Structure 1
């Protein structure tokens, strides 16, 4: 799986989740939920653009986005109500479609994080390492 493909899958899952919110109706959602979801969508598109351009920052951006999005989406939708960022699916009795879509988005975020971390590890394994000159305490 490439970083670009993982980004495409995450953006698709994110847009599907957004469409599901529209299907459910957004009248009962607090502005914090709408802002948080919008921020994830904007970051997902930015991550996709970075990966498409093969920008050297794409792996770190994807890793941070994937982990934080998975945590934020899970906290918002899977956990019981805990803050203004809560849209607890168990408490609103979300239907099966909504559950499948939100779990797909969380899985997509975790996949993005895993692929991005793999890319970071590859880059660090191929990076030149400084040699320490014996006894001098200097690196070359």
Structure 2
């Protein structure tokens, strides 16, 4: 049996991460962009751009792809947790699914999409860390 290299794992994880981005984005489109504040929409758009750039770096085999994966993965996981999974303590920075109003359109799919995204965020960050660690070990 052949062991999967950290770079291969990162590429597979980046593919799953891309699917999670699309699923989460689809939920936002389903709910309507007016279900979230302008701040959440702006930050979400910036996250999406950085995430897609990271995926591009990973699939092109760019040396900084792993570092970008660590950054966007952990930053996204923290951001989505704050925005969706904590109570509405953050005002315009919140799209809390906890006790969401009916007008927010939060469904089981919303929960699935957010948790899938957060899990994929953590996975790509860990995969990026594995690549960075393997590079350090090969230098030593």
1:72 aligns with 2:79: yes
Output the aligned Cα RMSD.
1.2
CA distance in 2, matches of 1:82, 1:15: 27
Structure with higher Rg: it is 1
- TM-score, normalisation: structure 1: 0.86
Matched position secondary structure for 2:35: coil
> Which of 3, 6, 9 is equivalent to 2:13?
6
Greater helix content: 2
| Count of residues in Structure 1 that have an aligned counterpart in Structure 2 | 128
- TM-score, normalisation: structure 2: 0.86
CA distance in 1, matches of 2:25, 2:127: 23
Report 1 or 2 for greater relative contact order, CA contacts < 8 Å, sequence distance ≥ 6: 2
CA distance in 2, matches of 1:120, 1:110: 15
User: Runs of 4 or more off by more than 4 Å in structure 1?
Assistant: none
Which segments of 5 or more consecutive residues in structure 2 lack a partner in the other structure? Answer: 1-7
1:89 aligns with 2:101: no
